[in-house]
Chains A and B, each alone.
Chain A
Amino acid sequence: MTAARETIGGPPAAAEGHGAAAGRPAEAARARSRLPVSVVALSAAAGVLVVAAAYTAGRLGRDDAAWADRVYWLGQLLILAPVAARLLSRRALTASETVTLIVVLTVTEYLVKVCYSPAAFSYADELMHWRTATDITQAGKLFTANDLLPISPYYPGLEEVTTALAAVTGLSVFTAGLIVAGTAHLLFTCVLFLIFRHISGSHRIAGIAVLLYASESLFQSFDSMFVYQTLALPFLGLTMLAVGRLAAPAATGRAGWFTVAMLSAFATVVSHHVTSFLLVLSLELITVVAVVTRDRRLAGWAAVAGLLSAAALSAWIVFVAPSTVSYLRPVTEQVLQAFRASLAGGGHHVALSSVSSGPLGNQALSAVAVLIMSVLVPIGWWQVRRRYRRQPWIVALAIGAAGWYVTVAVRLFAGNGSELAGRASTFVFLPAGFMAALAVVHLTGKSLRSAVVQVNARRRAPLVIAAVVVTALVLVVNGLVNGWPPYWERLPGPYQVAGAERSVGPGQVASARWALAVLGPGNRFATDEGDLPVLGSYGDQDTVGDDSYLYTSPRFSRADALQVQAQSIGYVLVDRRLGEMLPASGQYFPDDPNAGRYLRPLPLTGLTKFDHVPGVARVYDSGDIVIYDLQGSAYYGP
């Protein structure tokens, strides 16, 4: 790692000493910053404390208070603003300082995520993987059934690492899972920095690219959660890093790096399906670009790595995880449907709400962020054309950045475009963030060198930097505002009906544990949006998502009975609070035909009718939650 200093708008460290940059900023600007990295770390850590205070206020009943929300955002700004300001300032920055800033950003944002749910997993996706990890711990076997996320056991990388760590340390699956997910997330951002630095020759560009990558809406949530993708991403990155090392002109120890590449690629395949596909696609893209740019060494190594990765992925899908195809098919069809709609002139289908659901301010911020990225990416392309068109890695990233506009189209035209685009952002922001970083560095340097600024550089240059920092903050804050947790659960707090994390409470966990202990695992259970992940994970039950009819019909009917039989529903969990509160998420059930249209809570008659249906047993009652056994009742009668 070089100790050379870089300034924004100046030459990259790799180019220093060659007089590469005409019109470099004044030497004064190369002086050390008045904002040392240690102070940035101090501010970010204080931000974690402030966010934790806001979370505690929420838990103590102040979740709706505007001041608690402001405290949360103050904490976030204490984390984000100094990091962005330091990475984008005119002052000199060494590579180790840049790495430290990235580590500070990643670790503190991860701690913010931990503070949201510090005692147990409460995110639905984390509960799904907790179930698989717990099954491996208890059964000592891989590929056990998981009714909540059936594909999860067939990509057990995350759960293997977690159960191994839990086994050798004696820590709980939850604690081990937090450590594994946090380590994987930090490793991914560091590897990302190393790759960007390797291909751009500039730790400044690499640092800014990682900062902009952190603006994708899942960076602080889904990409650092205890979910299989979190572990697969660093393996993908390591494979790329190793291929880069293999193809370096003066590379030594190629056998070692090839082993690293293959171990990482195989670990990716075992850990996550979509990441594995993206790994193969990326390697093939790099191969093609390397052939075109006549980088034979890279083309060869990338082709070998790509072919072996593709073979491993194919073998895994054929012999171990054939359900991957049926699992991914609906998503693929939705994306294709979106394309068909856009090609068929489906512009009239565009709904503003599809850009970003939520308050108007959130939607406006989302639109501004989309606009900024949409402007920055082409400027990045232009920089690639001007400076990097012979560099296969960067050209491949430029091609990949076109995916940004695909996700924008998906947002606009697909049925659940926001969710699809959000999930894709993890991958799309890798090249798009790098292109945007090239654009930001170019625009900032150009502005600083412009005659308008040079007339009074001492006063005007800070304004330029401030504008750039604010732009970066808009992007990153948008990622938080329109990411996860959603605006209606920004702060943890009292129970919410059909919410996400706030629907996970002691009562839900107790009923789920009772179901597992007394009824056994794998029973077909009708339940609502909020209780489903708890019942499926702690309870290990086979939950049904398309069951709204069972709760909304005022009385028993033959039509309901036929549907119950068709879905083989054995038990119904009724949370009586569905009749007292509107759903926080807008929908009471996972597949809710009335989602977003509820004006009043569900009628109690629909929830309590089971007490009067012949043969239905009321097997569990904890006040809010009642479980009915439909087997042998009129629902299964002639």
Chain B
Amino acid sequence: MARSQLDIAATALVAVLACGAAAGGAHGGPAMIVLGFALFAAPGYLLGQLLAGPRVSGPERVAVMTGLALAVPVLGGIVLYAAGVPLHRPAWFGLLAGTTLASDAVLFLRRRAREPDSAVGPEPAAPPRRVPFWPAAAFAVAVLLAGGGVALARIGVAAQPRTGFTQMWLSLRHDGQRLDLGVGNDQGSTTSYRLVLLRAGHVIATWNLTLADGQTWQGSVPSAGAPAVVADLYRLPDTTHPYRHVATGSRS
């Protein structure tokens, strides 16, 4: 295969591999992330090759390719939506892979059509540029430092002191027949509670709950109309002061 067609083969391969991986159920993971980014960038690269012409400087070409890579999902999404295609995962894979393969085909035909006209043959490859060691090392360290900054910021978020909390709720179901009752523990540690349910001032149910951090308990009771239902949650060992309190509307 001619050197000039390598990019076409590579982008076509990316489109096929990405769609194959997605069809095989791959979702996330390093390989899918790399393939996904390549598939996302491929239409922009190919359209840039097709549209920007040969006499464009490097930064300008990169800018046009990046802009086109961003424009494909913007405009393609509108077209898909207008065609009644749901914008779920298969649609985006189809759009990006379809644009990639179609652009590959057009670019391939265009390059093949131009080859016989070329009197001097393909342009000789530019000699590889030597990257000076110290500037390259400085940039590498800069990337590490900046990445370290983001990592430090994430550590700061994780280390930020936060006040734990417990959620409690009591809500009438849409059918009006039952009340949903729930407790969620976000205290940061396993916590024990006593949940007391009262109707017209009388205790009708009591639960002793021990919930791990992040755990939720849910139950339901009959609505039974007019008398207000009140639920008090005590955080053990304190059984004197309600820690949380919810109630249906009283008519008093």
In the bound complex, how far is the Cα of B71 from the Cα of A191, in angstroms?
A: 15
Known pairs A45-B149, A238-B64; A184 contacts B70 (CB<8 A):
yes
How far apart are A97's CB and chain B's nearest CB, in angstroms? 11
Q: Is the CB–CB distance between A160 and B74 below 8 Å?
A: yes
In the bound complex, how far is the Cα of B173 from the Cα of A619, in angstroms?
A: 12
Q: Is the CB–CB distance between B247 and A260 below 8 Å?
A: no
Partner of A59, one of B51, B96, B156: B156
Q: Is the CB–CB distance between A180 and B70 below 8 Å?
A: yes
Q: Is the CB–CB distance between A259 and B51 below 8 Å?
A: yes
Known pairs A171-B28, A267-B75; A505 contacts B162 (CB<8 A):
yes
Report if A457 contacts B (CB, 8 A).
no
B77-99, CB < 8 A from A:
77-78, 81, 86-89, 91-93, 95-96
Which A residues are CB-close (under 8 A) to B27?
170
Q: Is the CB–CB distance between B135 and A38 below 8 Å?
A: yes
Of the 9-residue stretches B1-9, B54-62, B112-120, B190-198, which lies at the interface with chain A? Answer: B54-62
Residue of A nearest to B160 (CB): A59
In the bound complex, how far is the Cα of B241 from the Cα of A313, in angstroms?
A: 62
In the bound complex, how far is the Cα of B241 from the Cα of A342, in angstroms?
A: 61
Residue of A nearest to B134 (CB): A38
Which B residues are CB-close (under 8 A) to A330?
none
Q: Is the CB–CB distance between B249 and A1 below 8 Å?
A: no
Report if A510 contacts B (CB, 8 A).
yes
Q: Is the CB–CB distance between B156 and A271 below 8 Å?
A: no
Partner of B159, one of A36, A56, A264: A56
Partner of A142, one of B32, B78, B142, B149: B78
Which B residues are CB-close (under 8 A) to A157?
74
Partner of B51, one of A48, A99, A140, A253: A253
How far apart are B103's CB and chain A's nearest CB, in angstroms? 12
In the bound complex, how far is the Cα of B246 from the Cα of A514, in angstroms?
A: 14
Of the 9-residue stretches A110-118, A379-387, A581-589, which lies at the interface with chain B? Answer: A110-118
Known pairs A60-B161, A510-B165; A623 contacts B244 (CB<8 A):
yes
Q: Is the CB–CB distance between B165 and A617 below 8 Å?
A: no
| Residue interface bits B192-225, CB-to-A below 8 A is 1, else 0 | 0000000000000000000000000000000000
Which B residues are CB-close (under 8 A) to A114?
150, 153
Report if A622 contacts B (CB, 8 A).
yes
Which A residues are CB-close (under 8 A) to B50?
256
Report if A156 contacts B (CB, 8 A).
yes
In the bound complex, how far is the Cα of B146 from the Cα of A167, in angstroms?
A: 27
Q: A107-B146, A111-B149, A114-B150 are in contact. List 13 more A-B contacts (CB 8 A).
A: A42-B141, A44-B142, A44-B146, A46-B145, A55-B153, A140-B86, A169-B28, A169-B33, A170-B28, A238-B63, A507-B165, A510-B167, A614-B250
* Pairs across A and B, CB under 8 Å, 28 listed: A1-B58, A37-B135, A45-B141, A45-B142, A45-B144, A49-B152, A52-B152, A56-B156, A56-B159, A59-B160, A118-B150, A164-B92, A168-B22, A170-B27, A183-B66, A191-B63, A193-B59, A231-B74, A252-B55, A253-B53, A257-B52, A260-B51, A510-B186, A514-B184, A614-B249, A615-B251, A618-B247, A621-B168
Q: Is the CB–CB distance between B171 and A163 below 8 Å?
A: no
Q: Is the CB–CB distance between B51 and A257 below 8 Å?
A: yes
Report if A190 contacts B (CB, 8 A).
yes
Partner of A617, one of B86, B88, B248: B248
Known pairs A56-B152, A614-B251; A234 contacts B51 (CB<8 A):
no
| Residue interface bits A164-205, CB-to-B below 8 A is 1, else 0 | 110111110000000010011001001101100000000000
| Residue interface bits B3-41, CB-to-A below 8 A is 1, else 0 | 000000000000000100010001111001101110110
Q: Is the CB–CB distance between B250 and A615 below 8 Å?
A: yes
In the bound complex, how far is the Cα of B132 from the Cα of A380, in angstroms?
A: 39
Report if B108 contacts A (CB, 8 A).
no
Q: Is the CB–CB distance between B51 and A267 below 8 Å?
A: no
Known pairs A170-B29, A187-B70, A510-B186; A49 contacts B145 (CB<8 A):
yes
In the bound complex, how far is the Cα of B76 from the Cα of A157, in angstroms?
A: 10
Partner of B70, one of A111, A163, A183: A183
Q: Is the interface of A mostly helix, strand, loop or mixed?
A: helix
Which A residues are CB-close (under 8 A) to B77?
142, 156, 160, 164
How far apart are B197's CB and chain A's nearest CB, in angstroms? 14
Q: Is the CB–CB distance between A52 and B71 below 8 Å?
A: no
Q: Is the CB–CB distance between A234 and B64 below 8 Å?
A: no
Report if B126 contacts A (CB, 8 A).
no
In the bound complex, how far is the Cα of B37 from the Cα of A187, in angstroms?
A: 17
Q: Is the CB–CB distance between B146 and A49 below 8 Å?
A: yes
A residues neighboring B (CB under 8 Å): 1, 36-39, 41-42, 44-46, 48-53, 55-56, 59-61, 99, 107-108, 111, 114-116, 118-119, 136, 140-142, 156-157, 160-161, 163-165, 167-171, 180, 183-184, 187, 190-191, 193-194, 231, 234-235, 238, 241-242, 252-253, 256-257, 259-260, 263-264, 266-267, 270-271, 492, 494, 505-507, 510-511, 514, 518-519, 614-624, 629, 632-633
Q: Is the CB–CB distance between A238 and B59 below 8 Å?
A: no
Which A residues are CB-close (under 8 A) to B247?
617-618
Which A residues are CB-close (under 8 A) to B244?
621-623
How far apart are A459's CB and chain B's nearest CB, in angstroms? 30
Which A residues are CB-close (under 8 A) to B92?
163-164, 167-168
Known pairs A167-B92, A629-B249; A119 contacts B167 (CB<8 A):
no
Partner of B74, one of A37, A111, A183, A270: A270
How far apart are B4's CB and chain A's nearest CB, in angstroms? 17
How far apart are B198's CB and chain A's nearest CB, in angstroms? 13
Closest 10 pairs (CB-CB, A-B) = A170-B28, A169-B36, A253-B53, A56-B156, A140-B86, A256-B51, A38-B138, A115-B153, A45-B142, A38-B135
Which B residues are CB-close (under 8 A) to A163?
87, 92
Partner of B67, one of A235, A505, A518: A235
Q: Is the CB–CB distance between B64 and A620 below 8 Å?
A: no
Residue of B nearest to A231 (CB): B70
Known pairs A42-B141, A168-B93; A48 contacts B146 (CB<8 A):
yes
Residue of B nearest to A254 (CB): B53
Which A residues are CB-close (under 8 A) to B169?
514, 518, 619-621
Q: Is the CB–CB distance between B249 and A616 below 8 Å?
A: yes
How far apart are B53's CB and chain A's nearest CB, in angstroms? 3
Known pairs A53-B152, A118-B154; A260 contacts B33 (CB<8 A):
no
Which A residues are CB-close (under 8 A) to B184?
510, 514
Residue of B nearest to A158 (CB): B74
In the bound complex, how far is the Cα of B176 from the Cα of A581, in angstroms?
A: 39
Which A residues are CB-close (under 8 A) to B75?
263, 266-267, 270
Partner of A141, one of B40, B86, B249: B86
Which B residues are CB-close (under 8 A) to A256?
50-53
How far apart are B169's CB and chain A's nearest CB, in angstroms? 5
Report if B125 contacts A (CB, 8 A).
no
In the bound complex, how far is the Cα of B93 from the Cα of A159, in angstroms?
A: 16
Known pairs A37-B135, A56-B159, A622-B168; A167 contacts B93 (CB<8 A):
yes
Which B residues are CB-close (under 8 A) to A234?
66-67, 70
Known pairs A45-B149, A160-B77, A617-B247; A168 contacts B167 (CB<8 A):
no
Q: Is the CB–CB distance between A267 and B70 below 8 Å?
A: yes
Q: Is the CB–CB distance between B171 and A48 below 8 Å?
A: no
In the bound complex, how far is the Cα of B179 from the Cα of A629, in angstroms?
A: 14
How far apart are A157's CB and chain B's nearest CB, in angstroms? 4
Which A residues are CB-close (under 8 A) to B40?
164-165, 168-169
Which B residues are CB-close (under 8 A) to A140?
86-88, 91
Which A residues are CB-close (under 8 A) to B95?
164
